[in-house]
Structure 1
């Protein structure tokens, strides 16, 4: 099984958990499930999509240039490597 076949679950706040398949960035998956995330660049430059990750593991497709704390991710430029539990509204 390739990494593209991995299926994980994302939980965001009070929203029901939904599936994530690693073809998309975390931001694209959130958008597909009608979870609104503030963003600008989609490239990890601006940091507008900064999101708290309560649990899980991600991998960046592009090295982010925006500052993020240890418990934050930039969903615009990362993919899930495990189930994720996120908190929006930093």
Structure 2
């Protein structure tokens, strides 16, 4: 089970639920468009995580080391993120 911690609340992801879907299900406002790692509009800051965040495929959107794309990343364990939109 994956636990997600934000400034707004703590929740768990359902089986096979993306981080983006979990954030939307729990009432977080997250910008998104493509859901496939192309546009980068869903990027959020990863503050800490108990496991490595990985991707089933290399996303095309440019992200910094402390950023993740909740639409397509895979998370496990516990992850703490800042879900506020990142303006680039």
Return the TM-score normalized by structure 2: 0.85
- Asked if structure 1 preserves the Cα contact closer than 8 Å seen for 2:42 and 2:85, the reply is no
Structure 1 alignment gaps of length 5 or more: 1-6
Q: 2:16 aligns with which of 14, 23, 26?
A: 23
Per-residue deviation, residues 43-66 of structure 1 (Å, max 9, x unmatched): 000000011000113221332100
**Greater helix share, structure number:** 1
| In 1: Cα distance, 2:41 partner to 2:72 partner | 12
Tell me: higher relative CO, structure 1 or 2? Use CA pairs within 8 A at least 6 residues apart: 2
What's the C-alpha RMSD, in Å, of the aligned pairs? 1.3
Q: Which runs of 4+ in 1 moved over 2 A?
A: none
